[in-house]
Chain A
Amino acid sequence: MTVENRTIYMDNSATTPVRKEVVEEMLPYLTENFGNPSSIYDPGKVSKRAIEEARKKVASAIGAEENEIYFTSGGTESDNWAVKGAAFANTNKGKHIITSSIEHHAVLYACKWLEGQGFEITYLPVDKYGMVSPEDLRNAIRDDTILISLMLANNEIGTIQPVEEIGRIAREKRICFHTDAVQAIGHVPIDVKKMNIDLLSLSGHKFGGPKGCGALYIRKGTKIESLLHGGAQERKRRAGTENVPAIVGLGKAIELAIDELEEENKTLLEMRERLIEGLLKIPKTHLNGHPTERLANNVNVTFEYIEGESLLLLLNAKGIFASTGSACNSTSLEPSHVLTACGVPHEIVHGSLRLSLGRMNTPEEVERVLEVLPEIVQKLRNMSPLTPREYRTL
């Protein structure tokens, strides 16, 4: 099949397909090995062992100990657990939390909810590249600060934060440090000890694992309350029968992602640079996010005079699947809080396009996108009342 005739998926930051090797590993736990891991008979023990094997793999991927990994239902639960759990466990020290204005909604909305519970939140600003300043962080720390939650890499613009430095500051001030690493796993090498991370969220479906399964790393000794109460699963910290097949899949997926990280990043980086170079040739197009400190798979641009949802629909008609930060593509009318925080002007913030590459993408697909996009941008510019005469062809 020629590249013109096949669909091109470039929304890997939203989700990735489950890898074949992962499916194979999961299958027995959906059928014959179905025992409840809390049961004491043999089939239960088989499931229990499978979970512990996956735990080892996750721990090894981020430089943690096995007993520091807790399985959850995904990134949102991990973020909520980290933020709310650490907040309520440390109220004896204070009620002040520091985060950034470009966090994922799983962190931002958890913080907003905590504000209603009497906590005080400082939302650090970012520069035009979406980068938090460690100096701003230092200045925001107070005697009653109990938690710093800053993401490792941004899901929209791919900017990678100076997490090692942030972790150093947090440790120096003896403040619990949580990082949302959902987008970073498989792209950025992570060592929780070296980076002084106390809590780290990850989600399986962002790196070839199944949806509905994630993990929270909780450094030994970190004070954190539980969100789910019930059974004694996950060492009494997260009740609920474990999703054994998904946990097994998550373990396999993270093992593969870490093994292939270096090689895959090389390929992704080449495609990313080619995409950026090609897209910026379209007049009045701007790169969002950091030019170098960004995920190897992330491209985010803004086209002036057009709106993102229309762009996505026309790309979809050509079999190309991508994403936008435009409000019109969501159930809210507010534009991307990330692009807004980076200072993207109001009049062009709606015209963003995120192309997030994955291991299935090829250089031929990149060329196809670069061939198709200029025509689509021009079509929409011809339609827009905002387009100056010199950028119209009709």
Chain B
Amino acid sequence: MDYSAKVMDHFSDPRNMGSIENCDGVGEVGNAKCGDIMKIFLKVEEDRIVDVKFQTFGCGAAIASSSMATELIKGKTLKEAWQLSNKAVAEALDGLPPIKMHCSMLAEEAIHEAINDYLRKKGLEPWTE
């Protein structure tokens, strides 16, 4: 697979890898076909993501997408994090092979799941768009 140097950098040296004990929100999503599974943990303070970690079972693109996505939402408000698109993740990685674009989609979905988990725990309505 022909990956950019940035994908390889985030794959070989993933940022924010791990889990957060007593996290405020957690989102786990999977792609049934290729088997990739991504889990995002959030620590939220005053509507802002102060810490984020990930665990990923998947290919180089899936791991790099998780790492980059967590970098992009760290320190952001929940609303800003919600707006992170899979395209933005892929662009930040200097592109992904077309067959691997679903990996960046997985990152977007995992972040949405984690945010909604946080909202539900707070007794708030989950966001849909």
Residues on A lying within 8 angstroms of B by beta carbon are: 305-307, 309-310, 313-314, 317, 326-329, 331, 333-335, 346-347, 349-350, 382-386, 394
| B99 & A385 in contact (Cβ 8 Å cutoff) | no
Check A385/B28 contact, CB under 8 A, given A310-B60, A313-B11, A328-B59.
yes
Collect the chain A residues with CB atoms within 8 Å of residue B59's CB. Answer: 307, 309-310, 326, 328-329
For the complex formed, measure the closest distance between the CB of B18 and the CB atoms of chain A, giving whole angstroms.
7
For the complex formed, measure the closest distance between the CB of B61 and the CB atoms of chain A, giving whole angstroms.
8
Collect the chain A residues with CB atoms within 8 Å of residue B99's CB. Answer: 331, 333
Collect the chain A residues with CB atoms within 8 Å of residue B127's CB. Answer: none
Collect the chain B residues with CB atoms within 8 Å of residue A313's CB. Answer: 8, 11-12, 60
Question: How far does the alpha carbon of A384 sit from the alpha carbon of B8 in the complex, in Å?
Answer: 18
- Contacting residue for A386 out of B14, B17, B37, B61, CB 8 A: B37
- Contacting residue for B12 out of A314, A331, A335, A394, CB 8 A: A314
Residues on B lying within 8 angstroms of A by beta carbon are: 1, 8, 11-12, 14, 17-18, 28, 31, 33-39, 55-63, 99, 102
Q: Give the 4 A-B residue pairs with the shortest CB-CB distance, closest first.
A: A328-B59, A385-B55, A309-B59, A333-B34
- Chief secondary structure at chain A's binding surface: loop
Nearest residue (CB) in A for B17 is A383
Question: How far does the alpha carbon of A114 sit from the alpha carbon of B64 in the complex, in Å?
Answer: 42
Collect the chain B residues with CB atoms within 8 Å of residue A331's CB. Answer: 99
Question: How far does the alpha carbon of A333 sit from the alpha carbon of B102 in the complex, in Å?
Answer: 11
- 30 sample A-B contacts, Cβ–Cβ < 8 Å, listed by A number: A306-B57, A307-B36, A307-B58, A307-B62, A310-B11, A310-B58, A310-B59, A310-B60, A310-B63, A313-B12, A327-B33, A328-B34, A328-B35, A328-B58, A329-B59, A333-B99, A333-B102, A334-B33, A335-B34, A383-B55, A383-B57, A384-B56, A385-B28, A385-B37, A385-B38, A385-B55, A385-B57, A386-B37, A386-B57, A394-B18
Question: How far does the alpha carbon of A305 sit from the alpha carbon of B8 in the complex, in Å?
Answer: 21
For the complex formed, measure the closest distance between the CB of B12 and the CB atoms of chain A, giving whole angstroms.
6
| B35 & A309 in contact (Cβ 8 Å cutoff) | no
Check A384/B57 contact, CB under 8 A, given A309-B1, A335-B35.
yes
- Contacting residue for A327 out of B8, B17, B34, CB 8 A: B34
For the complex formed, measure the closest distance between the CB of A391 and the CB atoms of chain B, giving whole angstroms.
13
Question: How far does the alpha carbon of A317 sit from the alpha carbon of B60 in the complex, in Å?
Answer: 12
Check A305/B12 contact, CB under 8 A, given A328-B36, A385-B39, A394-B18.
no
Nearest residue (CB) in B for A328 is B59
Collect the chain B residues with CB atoms within 8 Å of residue A385's CB. Answer: 28, 37-39, 55-57
Count chain A CB atoms within 10 A of each CB in B1, B17, B58 and give the residue with the most: B58
Collect the chain A residues with CB atoms within 8 Å of residue B11's CB. Answer: 310, 313
Collect the chain A residues with CB atoms within 8 Å of residue B18's CB. Answer: 394
Nearest residue (CB) in A for B35 is A350
For the complex formed, measure the closest distance between the CB of A352 and the CB atoms of chain B, giving whole angstroms.
12
Question: How far does the alpha carbon of A394 sit from the alpha carbon of B55 in the complex, in Å?
Answer: 12
Nearest residue (CB) in B for A309 is B59
For the complex formed, measure the closest distance between the CB of B36 and the CB atoms of chain A, giving whole angstroms.
7
Nearest residue (CB) in A for B38 is A385
Question: How far does the alpha carbon of A68 sit from the alpha carbon of B11 in the complex, in Å?
Answer: 52
Collect the chain A residues with CB atoms within 8 Å of residue B34's CB. Answer: 327-328, 333, 335, 350
Collect the chain A residues with CB atoms within 8 Å of residue B33's CB. Answer: 327, 333-334
Question: How far does the alpha carbon of A310 sit from the alpha carbon of B57 in the complex, in Å?
Answer: 9
Question: How far does the alpha carbon of A306 sit from the alpha carbon of B36 in the complex, in Å?
Answer: 10
Nearest residue (CB) in B for A327 is B34
Question: How far does the alpha carbon of A347 sit from the alpha carbon of B57 in the complex, in Å?
Answer: 11
| A383 & B1 in contact (Cβ 8 Å cutoff) | no
For the complex formed, measure the closest distance between the CB of B23 and the CB atoms of chain A, giving whole angstroms.
13
| B12 & A317 in contact (Cβ 8 Å cutoff) | yes
Count chain A CB atoms within 10 A of each CB in B11, B28, B56, B59 and give the residue with the most: B59
Question: How far does the alpha carbon of A95 sit from the alpha carbon of B58 in the complex, in Å?
Answer: 43
A sample of 18 more A-B contacts (CB under 8 A), given A317-B12, A350-B34, A383-B63, is A305-B57, A307-B36, A310-B60, A313-B8, A313-B12, A326-B59, A327-B33, A327-B35, A328-B35, A328-B59, A329-B1, A333-B102, A350-B35, A382-B17, A384-B37, A384-B56, A385-B37, A385-B55
